[in-house]
A and B are shown apart, each in its own frame.
Chain A
Amino acid sequence: MLELRINGFGGQGSVTLAHLLAQAALENGEQGQALPFFGVERRGAPVRAAVRMSPATIYAHSQCELPDYVIVMSEKLTEAAVSEGINKNGTVIINAPYPLKVEKYPTWQVDADGIAGEKGLFSADGLFINVPLFGAACRVLNIPGKVMEQTILNKWPGNGGSNLDAAREAFKAVRLIGT
């Protein structure tokens, strides 16, 4: 069983990102689970979600305390996200406009804000960065590009256009910063 934790700010779309990843696991022939932590939500406050993927039935229902992957939706949260707990063999995926390395952990970086802006994924008060981050995470998790695309088309039937472009772009652009 693979465990992931998403750390983000309220309003960045972490719940949808968690749902997309769980859906991609099912699309990929596995079981998937998205378990966002719901608090008293506020825009801009730190939020988190658990995601699990497994070939077998998933029984876990806790938040992921020592995840195999941590997805950091804003580089400002990097230190806080990693200090919440990560598997000693864990990997970090960070949305940052510049290359960034977390000490001791393999770190992948993608400029999700840049890609979202370039592909026109504007929300009411910012950018939809969850879709490019989904693309980047699929690449890091070895989820095939076709599964990624099908998941987006299932989520937004007939309206995958800029979402597909953004996910594909992030799939290509995400970089391993060093081990």
Chain B
Amino acid sequence: MRTAQVIMETGAHAAALAVKCARVDVIPGYPITPQTSIMEALSAMVEKGELDARFIPVEGEHSALAAAVAASAAGARVFTATSSNGLLYMHEVLHMASGGRLPVVMCNVNRGIFAPWTLWADHQDSFAQRDTGWIQFHCSSNQEVFNTVLQAFRVAEQINIPVMVNFDGFVISHCFMPLNVPAQEDIDRFLPLHEPEWRLDPAHPSSFSNVTNAAEYASFRQMLSQDIMASIPLVKEAAQSYKDITGMWDGDTIDTYRMEDAEVVVLAVNSMAAELRLSVDILREQGIRAGLLRPRLILPFPAQDIIDALPQNAQVMVLDRNYNFGHHGGILASELKSVLFGRRHDITVKNRVMGIGGVDLTRRFMADEIRAMLDE
């Protein structure tokens, strides 16, 4: 391991730097608050010649992902980024990327969805794309954003499935903090150049994405479903290898804090899960044996790792920053309950929705909420 350089950067620029370190070939981009500073940084790097990539400005997010899909099919390493309604506008093409087995990596800067307009963080945008066949990470710090973009390319290209790296708008994207940037040689060792098994090539014409008959279509969909599940060991292997090379670790499919003797387990994702470490400390001082379980990977949902991490008879307090419309509460709670059903009868699940549209989630507020949930 070579000495990492420590710089001060925002989460958005941490993402852009990771893309540069990943030596991407093509970056189609369309700006949307609060993702814009990722695209600004990348276009500046290309313009200055610091990054040997093609930056393609387009007229909307549907085209941004369409260009990413085409470039990926041509064998390029491709990155794009979006947020909120931009991600929703990509919805159709998200399916094209996963069904076409194209290893695009995209950052989604989590922001609440219109209407009414909001600029600030919640998780409805990425959770609404749960069924599009993308692998989804959710990150809790600037450093984790940087590390995860690199891990995402490795996993995506190993299994030919696109990966979405999510992190909170403003709270992470515009938060200015120390960032360890490993030596480029170490990153190159972790992430070798992209060598696809197949690519569209005018010199060797072939067709891509033809109409299939029912049996062929069913077989493609079955392979996609199976391979999404098969990405779990690859995610773990990428996290471990990244740690071996850079010394940095954010967890693999999950990250845990003070879980050893926990009776009350708090489960949440993204920046609120970082703040929740402090809430857990507050609850511990008050005599409540609290711990934190943060899924980094929410698709595929790391069922076995969560089941293995939960202590006997634990009460799980799921804090959702999204709504599961048509049900009470949020989507994470629903995912957790479906995993526990028939497997862990000893676990109690409680759920609250909070932080919608950027409502500030302080350590004291969340500790108070969790304490109140104990009495429900």
Contact = CB atoms under 8 A, between A and B. Distances in A.
Interface string A5-46: 000000000000011001100100001111111111000000
A99 to B, nearest CB: 33
B239 to A, nearest CB: 18
A65 B272 CA distance: 15
A35 B175 CA distance: 5
Interface residues of B, number: 25
B178 A31 contact: yes
A58 B275 contact: no
A33 B274 CA distance: 14
Contacts of B8: 19, 22-23, 26, 32
A33 B119 contact: no
B41 interface: no
Interface in A21-79: 22-23, 26, 31-40, 58-63, 65
B34 interface: yes
B313 interface: no
Contacts of A38: 34, 119, 170, 174
Contacts of B275: 59-62
B354 to A, nearest CB: 12
A7 to B, nearest CB: 16
Contacts, number: 61
Given A33-B176, A38-B34, A60 B363 contact: yes
A59 B174 contact: no
Nearest to B173: A38
Given A22-B8, A32-B8, A38-B119, A61 B174 contact: no
A60 B175 contact: no
Chain B residues touching A, majority SS: mixed
Given A19-B8, A26-B8, A32-B8, A63 B360 contact: yes
A61 B178 contact: no
A75 B281 CA distance: 37
Nearest to A1: B278
B277 A59 contact: yes
A61 B364 contact: no
A37 B178 CA distance: 19
B174 A40 contact: no
A106 B271 CA distance: 33
A36 B177 contact: no
Contacts of A35: 171, 174-176
Contacts of B171: 35, 61
Given A26-B8, A65-B364, A32 B277 contact: no
Nearest to A62: B362
B175 A33 contact: yes
Interface in B133-149: 141
Q: State the 10 A-B residue pairs at the shortest beta-carbon distance, nearest first.
A: A34-B176, A62-B362, A61-B271, A59-B274, A59-B277, A35-B175, A33-B177, A61-B171, A62-B360, A61-B275
Interface of A: 18-19, 22-23, 26, 31-40, 58-63, 65
